[in-house]
């Protein structure tokens, strides 16, 4: 039973591949350039992309289960719907889809609305699916690490409602568990939705406090205004995407990204261990030696 992994060379997809291989699964990865894929030798490579119909059809041949991860893009919705249609055409009914928490609520944020639409298609077309809804990724903070460590400011505008940031290792392991559960099921399983969250729901001020502790120097929260956040992102990504990230940050401030009752406990049971915490991530950047006086 071969599992097709999309987004297999990215930060989540690659870890999903590793988790599946460690569990003895047969894995095929959809990649644009096999020469640059750098995946384990046990992984079968299928060259193609979401908008190349012929390559998609070839990639789905002999597949039992799909991990669908498509990144934020201007044509993300088209990519998702085409891939799901080709899967259905190929008789692949078992899917694990990487959506986003509050996809059905944050409808003014384009990629949330896109993922909500894909969820509806999965439901209405009768897929046997697990819908994974992760919160904001902890390792996104790598993009702002230098601002925190060099300037003593936590610049991400997440407000005081709180965001339950999730470690990508937890996302990948849950995805692998669910892919194998779907692939090995003797009968069709009902749709299940899992919120992927961290063990704590933290505000901007609380996160700044964690950085202050681990760095041994003051770190302040930069505030709720997303204007500077958008401007900084526009230097490293298309302006439309930077604006979309601003819209997402505004929903963090107004609504938070808060787990439902029982989410944390459910994930800990599923993984058989505690969830990775934000403080452990930040502690990687603590000074290794204390300054001399």
Q: Which residues of the chain have pLDDT under 50?
A: 291-293
For residue 69, count CB atoms less than 10 angstroms from its CB and return exposed for 0-12, middle for 13-18, buried for 19 or more: buried
Q: Transcribe 173-196 into DSSP letters.
A: HHHHHHHHHHHH-SSPPPPEEEEE
Residue tagged 């809804």 (tokens): 133
The 10 Å Cβ neighbour count of residue 289 is 5
19 Cβ neighbours under 8 A, 6+ residues apart: 172, 173, 175, 176
In the CATH hierarchy, which top-level class contains the domain 2-134+166-196?
alpha beta
Summarize pLDDT for 127-180 with one digit per residue, the tens: 999 999 999 999 999 989 999 999 999 999 999 999 999 999 999 999 999 999
The helix (H) or strand (E) run that includes residue 130 is strand 128-134
CA distance 248 to 84: 26
Question: Sign of dihedral through CA atoms 165, 78, 113, 104?
Answer: negative
Task: Give the helix ranges, DSSP H, for 110-167.
Answer: 110-124, 145-151
Return the pLDDT at 232. 87
Return the pLDDT at 293. 46
The 10 Å Cβ neighbour count of residue 185 is 12
CA distance 162 to 224: 12
For residue 144, count CB atoms less than 10 angstroms from its CB and return exposed for 0-12, middle for 13-18, buried for 19 or more: middle
Return the pLDDT at 289. 54
Q: What are the structural domain ranges in the chain?
A: 2-134+166-196
Return the pLDDT at 275. 98
């Amino acid at each position: 039973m071969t599992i097709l992994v999309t987004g297999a060379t990215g930060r989540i997809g690659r870890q999903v591949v590793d988790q599946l291989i460690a569990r003895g699964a047969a894995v095929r990865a959809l990649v644009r350039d096999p020469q640059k894929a750098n995946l384990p030798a046990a992984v079968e490579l299928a060259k193609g992309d979401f908008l190349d119909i012929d390559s998609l059809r070839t990639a789905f041949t002999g597949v039992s289960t799909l991990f669908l991860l498509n990144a934020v893009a201007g044509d993300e919705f088209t990519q998702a719907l085409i891939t799901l249609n080709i899967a259905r055409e190929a008789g692949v009914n078992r899917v694990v889809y990487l959506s986003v928490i509050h996809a059905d609520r944050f409808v003014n944020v384009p990629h949330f609305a896109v993922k909500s639409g894909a969820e509806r298609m999965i439901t209405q077309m009768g897929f046997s699916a697990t819908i994974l809804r992760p919160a904001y990724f902890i390792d996104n903070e790598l993009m702002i690490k230098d601002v925190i460590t060099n300037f003593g400011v936590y610049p991400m505008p997440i407000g005081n409602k709180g965001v339950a940031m999730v470690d990508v290792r937890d996302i990948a392991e849950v995805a692998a568990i669910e892919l194998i559960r779907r692939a090995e099921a003797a009968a069709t399983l009902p749709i299940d939705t899992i919120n992927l969250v961290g063990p704590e729901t933290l505000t901007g001020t609380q996160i700044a406090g964690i950085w202050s502790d681990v760095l041994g120097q003051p770190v302040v929260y930069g505030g709720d205004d997303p204007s500077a956040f958008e401007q900084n992102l526009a230097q490293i990504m298309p302006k439309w995407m930077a604006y979309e990230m601003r819209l997402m940050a505004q929903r963090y401030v107004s609504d938070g990204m808060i787990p439902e009752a029982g989410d944390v406990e459910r994930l800990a049971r599923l993984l058989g261990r505690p969830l990775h915490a934000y403080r452990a991530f930040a502690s990687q950047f603590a000074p290794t030696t204390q300054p001399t006086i």
